[in-house]
Structure 1
């Protein structure tokens, strides 16, 4: 067992610091446990400490949070690897996403959850504790579902319809598929249960419905080779942060399913109504994969291509980030050089203007005023010289005509 790591947010109680416990220790599993073993341990403990069963027990409530917190780390391959190498600090555990049990929420909280879901905020939900407890105690009604047939029903919110499918040895080798779809795009979960020795059922697999064209659908494929599932929630969270991150994380949720094949015998599936306020309409069918040999090979091929593309994109991201950083640096320099050149040209024009416009006008006006005043003065002196002197009245020569008598 690994000792508990110190987390970023430490709780203080009476001045003493409480460390978070090792997630492996909390769930009672070893560090080499498989994903299925971790999931089984979590579901059993979550059912044991669920608030619905321990309404007035604060210790049970704390234990339920700790169990859920631990599972959120160990159920994610990347976060589990990061925790194993560097502890709580590496996985940013304070921001872990929790699954909501809608049956335990009040009307107001359920309304808010429905609103956020409608706005595109990814909200993970879990199966109601009461449904899991009834299944574990063997108190559920199980309907037979023949291979090659389908059943259409309506399941109430936070309730489940159980179905049993029996397959032969030959059918188990050929592969088996269980699919559910809803034409009115209802939200639901497709569940697969392990049968306990006491006759009860424990939840082993869970697939959330997703929109595919004009319907919502979910399926489980037991084909004898690794089949992958795509968790859309991971990419939705990344898309909200950054479009580039969304692209490079698009295939991170492409993870292998826990079970690749089923043995001959009877197997139990269930359809769980996951709507917030209304019931869910659905159609469920079970198929033997023997007639679909071509589809099986196509699925194997396309999933291998997706895995190859995921590795390729991971390498491409490092190159893209490096080139993007260089591009950002170049565009920043480009903008700086444009501004620098514009400022130099502007300053140059101002200098030109100081020579060709303002001083010229000023000097011209002054010279014109000086020359005009000088010319006026000279003209005045010349006119004075040329002008004849006026004779005074007593110097006038008076002519008298002698021929006329006065």
Structure 2
């Protein structure tokens, strides 16, 4: 269900987005929004070229929006990027019923299916025609949003709350798939998509959250780990923390901020509960999150180093295991050959030869000097079986007393 990692013919990402190499992140984001909406498949159903241009724009933005990937590209071009780790998002708005069913099946099996936000929702936000519900801090709202639709909420914060930081979380006890979106307000009253978090299954619920706490918070992209597992299950553990991506916004200014819950289910509405909180009431929890983010980043660096050691040890283990099997086979063959040689030391063969048994007489019986011992037959391994005839009675020495009595 994944799209290609890159367009067939790759162009300079700066050229695709019509920006310069010294463009700011905000300039790159604005250029991407305009082009993505222009070439979105929803708006170009009759233009197959628009779909390819949309993928090219998304691919270019995936490079320039990530500081590390942008640095790698600026240094050494496309060759410096890990193409297989750059997955494309899938637009399900134009999928037929059959394809949608396959996508739902893969999602049910745990394969992450990334989707784009509907062009209709983005266009309504840019036109400023959406309905915004107020969501005061410390409150929650439960609702049900149709697939490929969105419910918008306005969270208003003052100076003190902005300094303390805020958290917006969405959860679904029904394990619905959804997106948590953050829109930046433009000067003309429109809303441009700034952040997007896909829901993740945690236990018996699905959830997504945005944390504006004045320090770098990371989100987990499970697709990276899933792709690594598909290619090399042994490497999946080492790639588990590679999905950590820094959130672009770490703090909010005083004022009203727009969030939205986007229905991402394949066939039915998504049930959800959204809540907004001030971090002032969660100072201990906020400090623990800050510490754990640092520990996870440190652990990611440790795993990168440990992977090299593990690979070397694993290669050495495979080497000695192969040698073990070869040595075991060699020892077994030598012992087998030794046993065969031991068996060749026997008087049976010498005695049989001296009695006139020729090669052509194998399988026949012949007498030795002792009439009570007979060579009966030769077995498969070349040895001879002997039978002692001394205790057997002759037929003419049988006791016939019973017959006499009858007479």
| TM superposition score normalised by structure 1 | 0.82
Contact 2:72 2:80 in 1 (8 A): yes
Counting only pairs closer than 5 Å after superposition, residues 1-400 of structure 1 correspond to structure 2 as 20-32=10-22, 37-75=27-65, 79-91=69-81, 93=83, 96-356=86-346, 360-368=347-355
User: Structure 1's 335 and 79: CA in aligned 2 closer, same or farther, altered over 3 A?
Assistant: farther
Partners of 1:97 and 1:107 in 2: how far apart?
Answer: 23
Q: CA deviation at 1:112?
A: 1.3
Partners of 2:24 and 2:225 in 1: how far apart?
Answer: 24
User: Structure 1's 291 and 278: CA in aligned 2 closer, same or farther, altered over 3 A?
Assistant: same
Q: CA deviation at 1:44?
A: 2.5
Partners of 1:328 and 1:375 in 2: how far apart?
Answer: 63
Partners of 2:222 and 2:39 in 1: how far apart?
Answer: 29
Q: CA deviation at 1:326?
A: 0.9
Contact 1:40 1:203 in 2 (8 A): no
Contact 2:6 2:56 in 1 (8 A): no
Partners of 1:300 and 1:88 in 2: how far apart?
Answer: 34
User: Structure 1's 61 and 375: CA in aligned 2 closer, same or farther, altered over 3 A?
Assistant: closer
Q: CA deviation at 1:36?
A: 5.8
Deviations 1:90-137 (A, max 9, x none): 446488522112212121211111111112222111111111011111
Q: 344-353 or 65-74, which moves further after superposition? A: 65-74
Matched residue count: 359
| TM superposition score normalised by structure 2 | 0.81
Contact 1:132 1:202 in 2 (8 A): yes
Contact 2:166 2:279 in 1 (8 A): yes
Q: 338-347 or 164-173, which moves further after superposition? A: 338-347
Partners of 2:285 and 2:92 in 1: how far apart?
Answer: 37
User: Structure 1's 95 and 266: CA in aligned 2 closer, same or farther, altered over 3 A?
Assistant: closer
SS of 1:52 mapped into structure 2: helix
Partners of 1:95 and 1:304 in 2: how far apart?
Answer: 24
Q: CA deviation at 1:337?
A: 0.7
Q: CA deviation at 1:226?
A: 1.1
User: Structure 1's 320 and 33: CA in aligned 2 closer, same or farther, altered over 3 A?
Assistant: farther
Contact 2:166 2:211 in 1 (8 A): yes
Contact 1:72 1:97 in 2 (8 A): no
Partners of 2:211 and 2:342 in 1: how far apart?
Answer: 81
Contact 1:166 1:264 in 2 (8 A): yes
Contact 1:36 1:204 in 2 (8 A): no
Contact 2:148 2:264 in 1 (8 A): yes
Q: 210-219 or 272-281, which moves further after superposition? A: 210-219
Q: Which residue of 2 aligns with 1:400?
A: none
SS of 2:292 mapped into structure 1: helix
User: Structure 1's 61 and 10: CA in aligned 2 closer, same or farther, altered over 3 A?
Assistant: closer
Unaligned runs of 5+ in 1: 1-7, 12-18, 377-406
SS of 2:128 mapped into structure 1: coil
Unaligned runs of 5+ in 2: 358-365, 372-407
Deviations 1:287-311 (A, max 9, x none): 1111111111111111111111111
Q: CA deviation at 1:197?
A: 1.4
Contact 1:35 1:258 in 2 (8 A): no
Partners of 1:244 and 1:373 in 2: how far apart?
Answer: 71
Q: 42-51 or 163-172, which moves further after superposition? A: 42-51
Q: CA deviation at 1:81?
A: 4.7
Partners of 1:159 and 1:10 in 2: how far apart?
Answer: 29
Contact 1:40 1:204 in 2 (8 A): no
CA RMSD of aligned residues (A): 2.6
